[in-house]
């Protein structure tokens, strides 16, 4: 039996309680789960134009289908980046209030 190979399944997630569904499998094969996980952020950038509120990736053994039991509320989204200490704060004007 040869070494395990992993792929990144791309999942589109809707709103509410509907399960995410696999919409693509990214190009590329990975020799370990860690290598697959490390590539996730870079690969996901290519799939942000899909018509889903949330797009995520799931590492899985090649030849298997992604988990369809993943729900949007179970996804760990990245924390927003905090500005560096001393960095200027960006404020957006509220055009409705005439600001």
Q: Say what the pLDDT of residue 1 is.
A: 47
- Quick one: pLDDT at residue 98? 43
State the pLDDT at residue 97.
Answer: 44
Would 88 be classed as within a structural domain?
no
pTM score, two decimals?
0.64
Structural domain includes residue 37: yes
pLDDT at 36: 93
Is 98 among the domain residues?
no
DSSP string, 38-93: HHHHHHHGGGTTSSSSEEEEEEEETTSPPPS---GGG--PPPPPPPPTTPPPP---
Q: Is residue 17 part of a domain?
A: yes
Query: Which one, of 59, 43, 64, lies nearest residue 6 by Cα?
Result: 59
* Number of domains making up the chain: 1
Is residue 1 situated within a structural domain? no
Rounded distance, CA 47 to CA 49, Å?
6
Please check whether residue 92 lies inside any domain of the structure: no
| List of the chain residues with pLDDT < 70 | 1-3, 16, 66-99
Question: What sign does the dihedral 42-48-50-53 (CA atoms) show?
Answer: positive
Instruction: Give me the DSSP letters along 11-50.
Output: EEE-STTPPPEEEEE-S--BSSHHHHHHHHHHHHGGGTTS
Give residues with Cβ within 8 angstroms of 81, minimum separation 6. none
Q: Determine the pLDDT at residue 64.
A: 81
What range does the domain containing 55 cover? 6-75
Is 84 inside any structural domain? Answer: no
């Amino acid at each position: 039996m040869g070494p395990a190979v992993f792929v990144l399944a791309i999942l589109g997630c809707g709103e509410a309680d509907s399960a995410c569904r696999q919409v693509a499998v990214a190009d590329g094969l990975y020799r370990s789960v860690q290598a697959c996980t490390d590539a996730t952020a870079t690969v996901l950038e290519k799939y942000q134009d899909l018509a889903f509120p949330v797009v995520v990736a799931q590492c899985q053994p090649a030849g298997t289908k992604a988990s369809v039991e993943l729900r949007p509320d179970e996804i760990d989204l990245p924390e927003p980046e905090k500005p560096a200490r001393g960095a200027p704060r960006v404020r957006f004007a509220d055009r409705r209030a005439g600001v």
